[in-house]
Structure formats: C-alpha cells, structure tokens
C-alpha cells in the first residue's frame, strides 16, 4: 500500500482548503479521525518509532472526516525542558520525566539552555526526513515536539514546591527564567519551521493547525495558580509566543475557568482551546469566547458517570451549543461507539 496512492495530492489539497477556511471562520463544525494503533509515540528505539509510524499513517487511509496525515515526533513532555540539561528518566509503567536543575533563585539566574537547533527539534527533523524517504512521501506534515508553555517548562526545570513559593518570594528570578524559557520556546518552534517546512501543531490534540496560521502550546499550569498569579507570570509570556506566530491553540486538560478573563482580555490571539468535561463547563467557555475560537471537546474520567460514552457527550453538546460555537471533534476510530460518534457529528454539520 503506497502512501501517495491512498493520500493523493488532490485529496490532501481539498482537505487542507476546507480546514483553512474553517480557521478563517467558515463553518461551525468539523471532525477528524485517527487510529491510536499502532502507537509509536514516546518509543525509545527510533527504528521502531519509524516502523510503527508508517503503519499508523497507512491505517488512516479510509477514515471519515477531514484528515491531514502527519508524523508526530513525540519524545514526551520533557522536550522543552530538556534543553537545560536535566536528567531524563522513565519509571516502570510510567511516562518520561526529568530531574529539576533549579532549586533556588540563585540557580535560576545561572542556568542556560543549549541552542534551540539541537535537542528534540533536531531529532524530530532527522526522523521526519527518514520517514518521508522510507515511504517515498511527497506531501506530509509534521507536528511539533511537545511544546510545553513557559510556566510548564519552568516548572519542569525548578523543583515544584520551590518554584511556586518563588513566585511570591523571588519574583524577579522567576520572571528572568520565564523570559529566557519563552525565548527558547520561540527559538525551538522557529527551528522546526525552518528545518521541516510543512509544520502543523499542536502535538495534541490531533487537530491540523499549519504554522503559517499559528502554533500550539500546553498550558496545564493554568489550573494550579490563581488568576492574579497567572496574569503576572503566565499571560505576558504566552502573549509573546502568540505575537511571534500569529496565534495559539492552547491545550489544557484541567480546571481553567478562573483564567478565562485573563485569556479573553489579555490580547493573546487564542485560536482555539481543548476542554475536558466537567473541569470546564462548556456553556461558560462558549459564552466567553463566542465565535472567536475553536473548541475541541473531551471527557475526563470524572465525567464518565454522566457521559459513559463520547457519543452521549456529543449529543449533549449538540443540544446546548450556541449558534456561533465552533467545534472540532477528534475521534479515535478504535473506540467502540466510533460509528455513532460520526453519525451524531454529521447531523450537526
């Protein structure tokens, strides 16, 4: 089975145009499908990663929806922090972690990262080019490595408890670190855009957001701090990334309703956000942003009592969404109710 035969350029061009129009505000609903198997994310053996990535790409040939195939160079949430040299580790049955390199404000003023054209950005480019060569691919996008936002990255560098305390007692050192982290993140993103060209983010969720429109970051630190602290230590640095690339899709799978005013009044160009029921109430989120952003809905384990399946959740969203609400559904074809999910979404389009 040949990639260029099952994903001909004409088909990809048409899909890309539909999705570009959607980002411009045309239409209210789109959906994309993917197969989670075989999984190749965060595999340590690069040859194993490439083999399974090829199998995964080919498995998506006949899935319904607006699907733009891409390679996902996922080396874990430590990718942005690893530029500072912390030791990475993988606990048995767990995910890749990293040892903090900062314990004190004095440490924060001394640490420096390696150049952004190295690290996981360079590793991703090598794997991407090899995959395209192996599969004789002409048209393939590549996602960014896991771009953790400034606070997320800093919290991986600085021991967690000390980092939170430093916001109150050593704010100057925290701001200096966040400024350097932000510049490094921007450098890593620019490196990938220059070295790979056809870039799409974020790494998660599996939406298609080409880098000429914007980029994606993870802001899982938003739920952990107050609105006032986020306004001081989060907003300026997130806005700098947004300004550098034209806009942001923000991943956050926690409770962030208390940050909505920060996000809507900060000047950050929020292109879209992921949200997990019940951590964020859809009606509150939809009202806050209107039609200015695209939302990707999920259910957390805490929401399974009310919505045991995603199709039940989608029926709920169908009834309660506002006329201007823009939704991008990301479907896993390996879920049991996948066909029912497709049926419900198509009835909304």
- Position 338 scores a pLDDT of 97
- 89: β partners: 97
Confidence of residue 76 (pLDDT cuts 50, 70, 90): very high
Q: What percent of the chain has pLDDT over 90?
A: 95
Instruction: Give the DSSP H/E element, type plus range, for residue 274.
Output: strand 270-277
Q: Is the pLDDT of residue 1 over 80?
A: no
Q: Is the pLDDT of residue 179 over 80?
A: yes
The phi, psi pair for 294, rounded to 5°, reads -100, 135
Q: What is the dihedral of CA 303, 305, 311, 312, to 10 degrees?
A: -110
Q: Is the pLDDT of residue 175 over 90?
A: yes
- Position 212 scores a pLDDT of 98
- Position 206 scores a pLDDT of 95
Q: How far is CA 222 from CA 127, 184, 233, 253, in A?
A: 32, 20, 10, 10
pLDDT in tens, 229-246: 999 999 999 999 999 999
Helices within the chain (DSSP H only): 3-6, 9-23, 46-59, 105-110, 119-135, 150-157, 160-169, 171-196, 227-233, 235-245, 260-265, 282-289, 310-320, 338-348
Which residue matches tokens 């200015």? 292
Enter the tokens of residue 44. 């340590």
The phi, psi pair for 142, rounded to 5°, reads -125, 135
pTM, rounded to two decimals: 0.96
pLDDT in tens, 102-147: 999 999 999 999 999 999 999 999 999 999 999 999 889 999 999 9
What's the rounded Cα separation, in Å, for the pair 154 and 129? 31
SS3 78: coil
What's the mean pLDDT when you consider all of the chain? 96
* Mean pLDDT computed over 54-74: 95
Cβ neighbours for 57, distance < 8 A, ≥ 6 positions apart: 3, 69, 71, 135, 140
Enter the tokens of residue 142. 């590549």
Contact (Cβ atoms closer than 8 angstroms) between residue 77 and residue 218: yes
What's the rounded Cα separation, in Å, for the pair 9 and 142? 16
- Position 63 scores a pLDDT of 96
Q: Is the pLDDT of residue 156 over 90?
A: yes
* Mean pLDDT computed over 87-102: 90
Strand pairing of 199-201 and 209-210? antiparallel
- Position 139 scores a pLDDT of 81
* Domains of the chain, each with CATH number or no CATH: 3-348 (3.20.20.210)
What's the rounded Cα separation, in Å, for the pair 251 and 223? 12
Confidence of residue 69 (pLDDT cuts 50, 70, 90): very high
């Amino acid at each position: 089975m040949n990639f260029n035969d099952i994903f001909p350029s004409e088909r990809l061009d048409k899909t890309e145009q539909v999705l570009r129009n959607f980002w411009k505000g045309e239409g209210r609903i789109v959906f994309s499908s993917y197969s989670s198997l075989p999984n190749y994310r965060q595999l340590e053996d690069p040859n194993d990663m490439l083999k399974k990535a090829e199998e995964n790409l080919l498995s998506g040939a006949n899935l319904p929806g607006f699907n733009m195939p891409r390679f996902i160079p996922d080396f874990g949430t430590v990718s942005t922090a690893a530029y500072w040299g912390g030791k990475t580790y993988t606990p048995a049955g767990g995910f890749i972690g990293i040892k903090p390199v900062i314990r004190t404000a004095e440490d924060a003023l001394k640490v420096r990262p390696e150049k952004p054209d190295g690290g996981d950005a360079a590793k991703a480019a090598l794997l991407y080019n090899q995959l395209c060569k192996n599969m004789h691919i002409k048209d393939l996008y590549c996602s960014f490595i896991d771009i953790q936002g400034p606070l997320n990255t800093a919290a991986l560098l600085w021991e967690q408890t000390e980092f939170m305390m430093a916001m109150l007692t050593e704010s100057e050192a925290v701001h200096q670190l966040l400024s350097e982290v932000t510049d490094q993140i921007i450098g890593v993103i620019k490196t990938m855009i220059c070295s790979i060209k056809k870039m799409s983010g974020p790494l998660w969720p599996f939406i298609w957001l080409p880098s000429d429109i914007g980029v994606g970051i993870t802001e899982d630190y938003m739920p952990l701090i107050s609105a006032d602290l986020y306004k001081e230590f989060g907003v300026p640095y997130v806005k700098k990334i947004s300004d550098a690339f034209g806009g942001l899709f923000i991943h956050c799978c926690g409770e962030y309703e208390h940050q909505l005013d920060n996000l809507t009044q900060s000047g950050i160009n929020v292109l879209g956000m992921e949200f997990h029921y019940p951590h964020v109430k859809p009606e509150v989120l939809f009202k806050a942003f209107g039609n200015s952003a695209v939302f990707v809905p999920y259910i957390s384990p805490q929401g399974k009592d009310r919505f045991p399946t995603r199709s039940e959740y989608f029926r709920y969203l169908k009834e309660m969404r506002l006329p201007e609400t823009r939704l991008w559904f990301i479907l896993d074809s390996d879920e049991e109710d996948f066909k029912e999910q497709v049926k419900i979404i198509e009835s909304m389009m």
